[in-house]
Amino acid sequence: MPRLGALFLLVAIFSAAVCAIVYQLLIGSVSSYFLGNSVEQFSLTIGFFLAAMGLGSWLSRFVADHLLLTRLAQLEIWLGLLGGVSVGVLYVLYGYTDHFRVGMLALSTAIGALIGLEVPLITRLLRGHGTLRAALSNVLSLDYLGALLASLLFPYILLPFLGSLHTALVAGLVNAVLGLGVVLAFKGALLEQRTFRSLGAQALVVIAALGALAWQGEELRARWESDLYEDRIVHSEQSAYQQIVLTRRDEHLRLYLNGHLQFASIDEHRYHEALVHPALALAPSRERVLIIGGGDGLTAREVLKYEEVQHVDLVDLDPAVTRLAQRNIYLTRLNDNALNRRQVRVINEDGFVFLQREHMPYGAILIDLPDPREESLAKLYSVEAYRLCRKLLSPQGVLATQASSPYHVREVYWSIAAALEEAGFAVHSYHLHVPSFGEWGFHLAGSAGLDPTVDAFAVPTRYIDRQVWSALAVFDGDMARLPVQANRLDRPVLARYYRQGMGTQF
Ligand code: SAM
């Protein structure tokens, strides 16, 4: 083994380790976008990857010593191809088949097995250059270092700047170029084995194919994505937290986060009026209002109808959503430019972190978050979160939260009520029909003796009025309260209730 060849193999193991972690993170995060429940997706991806890597390592015993270089080059080329198209394959599986889960696990297994072959093959090659002790220590330390680099690059640079499809293609190109590098660096040995030409050709074909996909990738992604949504996509963005898609048909707008509908302009007023106006009608003061979530600005639009409102803190995790709500012409028209108004302070932070830190009291707190389909969201529907809200409310202050569907996910809806009660609130529950969502529920929470009677709403509304409001608290037998546990940080039941209710348990 020439010195330069050995050096090349060390660079290769480092780069291959970066790609290996990137593939795992890609499959885990793309599956989470499509299926939700990121804990489950990452557990499955990592589990299948590691087991398959074990399989690959075991299979390496069947590679004869004289074929090590040929097999290494082949492996890098095929890994490049498979890893490079992995995200595209996931899009196709989700968009056009019913076999996403099986396909995702098969992909993890195939990529994992190829990755598992890398370390033993390279270690055996390097052994010819020194002792086994040195070879193993070099290979493993570079492998682990590469993993660290990948886990830093992925969330901060690759995903936000390249997006998932191009990240996969770039990682695939790196593997294929490594394959070509093996072919060129060990030309002599491969010429002897008569594999130089065919391996060189394979590497070039894969590099050209991945390059062409990267060139056309944006268009392909847009086509796949538009097949997933009913209407024309007017904005699509992968933020550090979620996939944001805004669609439009005629005058109708819809916002999706990770494929889940957040509002449809045709009936969003029903949802937002029901969330905001009962709470503000009952609040002891409307001067200071806190909105958690609500990055689309539609809750803030309703809040700003009240002249007394002097200060609104809107805490939304994702700057990409609030930026869209501040800049997109369709959205600023719909939200009445709410997030650019002087009374509104947009804070891009996790709602829970904000609640833990803040101490200036609010007359009303409005919680407008996506459904608790993930543990990371469910924590904001927990007893602990509601206790923090109570501390931040002025005396007699009120809180209103969206609480998902009392019909489709009845356990979720009543578990949220139980959490509010366990946090010390008196709760008034209500629901209405929002055609785009179905039967939708909210809870109003205040101090003991909370009287939900509203004589009149002080601002113009399209949907809610005194009579409608008084009719919203009737729950028929299909939606009536049932005994469920409250969601607590140390006993997180809510996301599980949600997935059971939606029938998406694996
Ligand atoms: N009306 C919607 C519904 O029924 O699902 C909710 C709409 S609103 C757009 C939800 C917002 O919550 C999003 O902009 C998202 O970025 C934000 N969000 C998600 N997780 C959050 C967190 N942990 N802290 C604060 N905001 C969060």
Q: Which residue has the tokens 């029903």?
A: 270
pLDDT at 506: 40
Confidence of residue 1 (pLDDT cuts 50, 70, 90): low
Greater pLDDT, 490 or 426? 426
**Start-to-end Cα distance in the chain:** 49
User: pLDDT for 316-360, tens place per residue?
Assistant: 999 999 999 999 999 999 999 999 999 999 999 999 999 999 889
Mean pLDDT in the chain?
92
Closest C-alpha to 388, from 352, 414, 412: 352
Pocket-testing residue among 316, 381, 408, ligand 1, by greatest number of atoms within 8 A of Cβ? 316
Percentage of residues of the chain with pLDDT beyond 90: 70
pLDDT at 505: 40
CB-defined site of ligand 1, < 6 Å: 257, 262-263, 292-296, 315-318, 321, 350-351, 368-371, 377, 380, 402
- Residues whose CB is less than 8 angstroms from the CB of residue 391 and which lie 6 or more positions away in sequence, other chains included: 359
Closest C-alpha to 494, from 400, 367, 376, 399: 376
DSSP assigned state of 66 = G
Evaluate if residue 34 carries a pLDDT over 90.
no
For each of the domains in the chain, give its residue range(s) and CATH number, in order of start.
3-223 (1.20.1250.20), 230-262 (no CATH), 267-505 (3.40.50.150)
CA distance 247 to 249: 7
Q: Atom 1, ligand 1: which residue's CA is nearest? A: 262
Evaluate if residue 307 carries a pLDDT over 80.
yes
Q: Atom 16, ligand 1: which residue's CA is nearest? A: 318
pLDDT at 193: 82
User: pLDDT for 262-277, tens place per residue?
Assistant: 999 999 999 999 999 9
368 is catalytic: yes
Greater pLDDT, 254 or 186? 254
